[in-house]
Amino acid sequence: MDDRIKKLLGAEFHNPFEILSWQSCGEKYLLRVFVPDAKKVSIIDIEKNESFELEKMDEHIFEGIFNSKFMYRVLAEYNDGSKRSFLDAYYFESSIFGEMDLHLFNEGNHQEIFKKMGAVHRIVEGVEGYNFSVWAPNARRVSVVGDFNNWDRRIHQMRVLGTSGIWEIFIPEVPDGSNYKYEILTSQNQMLLKTDPYGKFFELRPKTASITWKSNYNWQDMDFISKGKDLLNSPLSIYEVHLGSWKRKNDGRFLNYREIAEQLVDYVRDLGFNCIEILPVSEHPLDASWGYQATGFYAPTSRYGNPDDFKFFVDYCHKNNIVVILDWTPAHFPKDSHGLYFFDGTHLYEHQDPKKGDHPDWKSAIFNYGRYEVSNFLLGSANNWFENYHIDGLRVDAVASMLYLDYSRKEGEWVPNIYGGRENLEAIEFLKKFNSIAYARYRHAFTVAEESTAWPGVTRPVYLGGLGFGFKWNLGWMHDTLSFFSRDPIYRKFHLNALTFSLLYAFSENYILPLSHDEVVYGKKSLLEKMPGDDWQKFANLRLLYGWQYGHPGKKLIFMSGEFGQRNEWNYDSQIDWYLYQYESHRKIASLLRDLNNLYKSNPELYENESNHECFQWIDFSDVDNTVVSFIRWNKKKDRFLIFIFNFTPVPRHNYKIGVPFEGSYREILNSDAIFYGGSNMGNFGLVKTKKIRQHNFNQSIEITLPPLGFVVFSLLKED
């Protein structure tokens, strides 16, 4: 027996196409089919509808000699009396990959790899089916196993394409919604069962199979997508949400993406937000990871529905002019046996050296960004979210852990780069490439970095030496602000510089000011419960915090439940505390946020040019004894401005003088102490006039009442 056939029978052959289906045999053609355990096999010439019985060569191989090739259907009979009819996968020799595809993939530059790898619906010679392909360069053999072949490793053994490391097979008549995996025989004769790294859809956890999926979704958002936006000079007010714990059904089950869309978008619009950021929906095995340890980098999780359901969610957001940001996790991945880890029996996607490949904080694996095919896998994931799912923005999680080789490691636990430094040169190049491609390919796309250090130029363009992100989370602002607000007002005057320090670097990057999910878990308390004092002071402080956020330069982000002042920490395993809306004090927090969002979106002073220091002007940051801070926000043309004044103590300040740039009447357009926000209604009766009293380096000033633990916003009343 041919050694190749022996290997095929043992499920160890690297290219079954060499010996199966039509083979030249002099002037005739040998047809060889592999039908494990069949008693009798016949074929039908599909065009002529003629049947031919094949000779049984051993218990699995059947052959026949013919004058010419033709498309055929196999009819197999088994000892138990059962029969099976199917098209032979090895008849379909044409590959989905051209030579250029393989070349670009191996050099890390295939920007549309998501259209090639994984289970791709194809029509070959008029026959529908799925093309399966997977990268496993060190495997001895790879088989597709699934519902359609009784999970038998022998039936659909794949071929390897040259030296690319890609294994491929087109399997005809595979139904949509079929479960499948890849069975990999390693060079150490281990048998691994892996889900598809490029899978579009997965079984609901704890099951782990990939699922074939052919999208039938008809997008309705092309007007929204085609417009694009100058987000740097536009308002961006972000509602951060974890879809599984925002709202649930009465019995505790998850809502579907479509149900979430219709309820969430209406809620967000009513509050005045114009952007939704969702914690990762990439498929993940563990609910408690919140999606930050993904196994399916190309698939929305099946917890809330199928891929078309998720497309509906994004489409519905866009039809309501809501921008969608998705958290994306290229920094690491979990070590679950069915996933990427040790994929083909080697450390394929991760570094082999644990000093480079093991993440010390999350006990996960770190991608080997220096391997071209790995970086191409991640770039393909990003492009897939932008192109197939119309995501507007990707927020890259844990960027700092990617940039530094010694991140969270002690001396001796990390390996320096080739120059002896701590910078991860391969990760840096990957991030630059990711950002360059995103902005070049997708007009509507933007990127955000969650980067916790002072790395220079995170949002500077790549061609100017930066990393190329569109925005960066201002984690320094978040930490310092929450630290300040958690202090008793008696002591705040000693720490005022911690609050105002952020204005020293506020214009060094394009910042988003986050009050995020990370700050309301693990014993850190909810935003409301971080605040000192009795209940009245807690609510007043929370209103004051939101005023500081909306007055400060930078885009805005608030995590769900912060909008109504939830008392409990966030729990990923249940919905947020909606019952609190029955209480007036909580409803009034939402009212303030609604008005802050409307103020933000309707006044260019608060969003134009905010990465430039010219948008901001201090009035006074040195009134330590009163713990009062005041500043001006200018629009880009410098012909409009708003004045913000903050009182960080519970002591009202009467007859408080504030210098202003122009004389005239100033209208109090927002007061956090208003009774309809839950305050004591202490204010300025809507209007104050300037006096020719020099104050704060201005030739005129206004004399106002500052409410306790409150802020007020003034605008110059223009005369007709």
* Residues with active-site annotation: 397, 450
Query: DSSP character for 670?
Result: E
Q: Three-class SS string for 392-414?
A: CEEEECCHHHHHECCCCCCCCCC
Alpha carbons 641 and 648: distance in angstroms, whole number: 23
DSSP track, 63-81 = EEEESS---EEEEEE-TTS
Instruction: From 70, 28, 67, select the one nearest 48 (Cα to Cα).
Output: 70
Cα separations in angstroms, 40 against 57, 66, 74, 125, 435? 11, 18, 10, 27, 58
Task: Name residue, tokens 């002042």.
Answer: 565
| Residue 643 CB coordination number (10 Å) | 26
**Helical (H) or strand (E) element with 512:** strand 511-515
**Could you tell me which residues are beta bridge partners of residue 278?**
241, 326
Give the closest residue to 195 by CA, choosing from 145, 131, 257.
Answer: 145
Cβ neighbours for 259, distance < 8 A, ≥ 6 positions apart: none
Rg (CA), the chain: 31
SS3 label, residue 283: strand
Cα-based distances in Å from 560 to 239, 484, 715: 7, 22, 30
Query: Reduced to 3 states, what is the DSSP secondary structure of residue 350?
Result: strand
Instruction: Report helix, strand or coil for 139.
Output: coil
Phi and psi at residue 101, in whole multiples of 5°?
-60, -50
Cis peptide, bond prior to residue 235, ω within 30 of zero: no
**485 DSSP assignment:** H
Q: Does residue 310 sit in helix, strand or coil?
A: helix
CB 183 within 8 A of CB 145: yes
Tokens representing 613 are 């220091």
Residues β-bridged to residue 62: 33, 56
CA distances from 126 to 92, 123, 130, 172, 612 (A): 11, 6, 13, 10, 59
Tokens 């099946």 -> residue: 302
| Nearest alpha carbon to residue 447 among 462, 456, 457, 434 | 434
Helix 372-387 / helix 99-106 crossing angle, nearest 10 deg: 110
Tokens 């097979």, residue located: 169
Residue 291 backbone phi and psi in degrees, to 5: 95, 0
At 581, is the secondary structure helix, strand, or coil? helix
